[in-house]
Structure formats: C-alpha cells, structure tokens
Amino acid sequence: METTVRDTIKDITRQHLKAGSKCYGQCLTAVGWVGGTLPKLYEEDGMIELSMADVAGGGIVTGAALAGERPIYVVRYQGFQWYNSPIIVNYAMKSKEIWNRPCPLIVRSIAMEGGIGPVAGSSHHSIYQRMPGAKVISPMTPKEWRYTYEKFMEGDDVFYISEHRKSYDNKKELPNIIHAKADITLFPISITRFACYEARERLKRDGIKVNIINQLWIKPFVFREDWKKALIDSKYGGIVLDDDYEQGAASSIAHRMMLDSNKRVETLCLKHRTAGFYPTVDNLPPSADEIIYKIKEICNV
C-alpha cells in the first residue's frame, strides 16, 4: 500500500521517540501537528516544546545531541534558519572535527512559499551547505525519507534535511530519466523536481528530449559517472534548479559539473529579490512554464 511523505515522516518520528530519543521544536503539538508530520505524542513521550526564542533552540538541541540523545529538531520555516543556525553551524557541526566528539542531530527544515513574506519562505540549505561538518539532503519521496533516516542512524553526523510542505502528499518515487541523446539535462533540487517532470512531458510534445537527474544529496555532492555522461551527451548542456537562491548550492553544483564535464550548466532558482505577502510581489520556485521557457531559450526554439 502506498504511503505519503507526510505519513512516512510521522512513522519515522514515532519510531525515533519510542526508541528513547526526543523531538524538539516550536508549536509541535498545536493544531496541525506540523502539517500532520508528527505523531500525537507529548512531553512524556519525548515531544519537547521549545519557547519562541529561535536563537536558543539550536543551542538546546546541540546540548541534547552532545548528551547522547540524537534529537530531531523541527524548524517550521527554512527562512528561520538565519536565527536557528548559529550554534548548530559553529558548534554541533564542528565538534567532531575539533574535539573528536560527535554531535549527531537531525534538523528538519521545512520550506514553503506563497504569501508568507520576506523572512520565512523558501529553502535555505545553502546556509548549511557552505560550512564543514554537516550532511545536507533534500528528500521528496517516501523511500528517500526512509533512506535519509537510515543513513543518519548509521553514522554520527549532523543531518540537515531540506524538506518542502508541498511534497507531503506525494506517494510516488521520482526516478531519473536519461535518454541516449537528450537535448538538455535537468538537475533539480527540492520542490523543483515536480515541476521538472511536468515540463518534460509538455516539451516531449514539441520534440524536445529532456533528461531529469534528481539531486537528493546536496552535500556531499557526488557527480556520478552516468550523470556526467548524460550531461556530456546532451546537446545543449544542463540546468541546476533549486528553491534556494542560485548564489549558493545551485551555482556551486553547476560549477563542479562544468569543470568535470566541460559542458555549459546554467541555473534556474529563486529570483534575486525579497518576497512580499501578495501574489504580485511573491518569490516562488521555478514553475513548469518558467522551466519550459528557459529550456526553449537555451535550445534556440
């Protein structure tokens, strides 16, 4: 029976708490239970409500990880990482390297867009991607979430999980699609993956062959040989797509790909401007229409 990303996260959290660990965050047990991704457990079960002081939360979970808890830390809006990240980035992520004392924790960082203003919205995994000491991953399917949790439990690292609310209803896996001789290869991250599949189907009707190679891992980024071959064989190169600003993970990954393949790789990400609270001033991830326009522009169609 198919399950959603939402129910998968809920099951993982229940399993984690029942094993003796804890989940920390703000308004966890409020109406909605963080978009339905948390089991209905309470403080005595390990569901710890933090105050609304965002900067303090990162310090609390870092201390819990050092004490051996392997905590899950839920940050309801990725934009709030600008407040939550300082102690995680400067202590939890460096503790293993400097003092040989691992500080394993999961940061569940939740992205969304649409009328939520200049601070809260979109993905901000580039904050963590540029610093040593963390693994950054962006699961969008049930199996990817299971894989992410298993990899976390196998090691002792900080895991930054860049998730997106619009993936919560998803039940399907997202396989890579590679043609022998494609016109262009897309390397989408986060929620842009769904728009890429829609764009590909529409472009197929116009005779444009599009590869899609999903980017689950943001850090460490490994440019696999079959991905490199698909890019080299693509007539017009590739595009890295992201729900973050391009001056970060996307441009870094594109740069690596270009150096390794000698093919042109462009980026399509958030526009470089501040989001507002109204549709005409919002800042949304690339839509299928925008992806199609970009591809046709590159392919001279």
Structural tokens at position 16: 């984690």
Task: Give residue 98's pLDDT.
Answer: 97
pLDDT over 80 at 151, yes or no: yes
Q: pLDDT per residue over 160-208, tens digit each?
A: 999 999 999 999 999 999 999 999 999 999 999 999 999 999 999 999 9
What is the distance between the terminal CA atoms of the chain, rounded to a whole angstrom? 43
Contacts of 231 (CB under 8 A, 6+ apart): 185, 237, 238, 257, 261, 263, 265
Structural tokens at position 280: 């005409």
Between CA 121 and CA 124 the distance in angstroms is 9
In percent, the amount of the chain with pLDDT more than 70 equals: 100
Between CA 169 and CA 230 the distance in angstroms is 30
| Strands of 20-157, DSSP E | 23-25, 47-49, 72-75, 105-111, 134-137
Query: CATH 3.40.50.970 residue ranges in the chain?
Result: 5-167
Between CA 245 and CA 274 the distance in angstroms is 11
Q: pLDDT per residue over 92-142, tens digit each?
A: 999 999 999 999 999 999 999 999 999 999 999 999 999 999 999 999 999
Query: Pick from 134, 139, 129: which is nearest to 106 by CA?
Result: 134
Q: pLDDT per residue over 5-34, tens digit each?
A: 999 999 999 999 999 999 999 999 988 999
Between CA 219 and CA 128 the distance in angstroms is 9
Mean of pLDDT values over 199-220: 97
pTM for this predicted structure? 0.96
Query: CATH 3.40.50.920 residue ranges in the chain?
Result: 184-298
CATH 3.40.50.970 given to domain 5-167: yes
Task: Give residue 31's pLDDT.
Answer: 83
CB atoms < 10 A from the CB of 279, how many? 9
Domain 184-298 in this protein, CATH class: alpha beta
CB atoms < 10 A from the CB of 193, how many? 24
Task: Give residue 72's pLDDT.
Answer: 98
